[in-house]
Amino acid sequence: MMYEIRHYLTSSGRDLYTEWLKRQRDNTARVAIVRRVLRMIPGNFGDHKFCRDGVWELRIDVGPGYRVYYAIADGQIILLLCGGASAWRQAHAVERYRIRLCLLARLEGEGR
């Protein structure tokens, strides 16, 4: 199955994934992140795990370790945001992304 990659946009239209990626100073890490996301299109998710409530974590073992949080809906991979390797940050991030996923589902249900 081929997936389509979408980026979660805030209500003001900000693409948090792209903003985060552009802020990365380590070009090797940036390339590794982009390559891993592109590998998801044909269904090659590699090292990933289910977090909860529809939020998944793609683990990228480069530098300090990077995470890409995403959801899958109707054959689309929705990139929610990325983060570093901190366990504390990850626990809090999953909750924020779960809420974003709920908001996205509500907006799509309203036909937006």
pLDDT-derived band at 37, boundaries 50, 70, 90: very high
Bridge partners, residue 73, by sequence: 76
* Rounded percentage of the chain residues whose pLDDT exceeds 90: 24
Q: Which domains does the chain have, with CATH numbers?
A: 4-109 (3.30.2310.20)
Q: What is the largest CA-CA distance in the chain?
A: 41
pTM of the model as a whole: 0.76
Reported as a single tens digit per residue, the pLDDT across 38-87 is 999 999 999 998 887 778 889 998 888 888 888 888 888 777 766 665 55
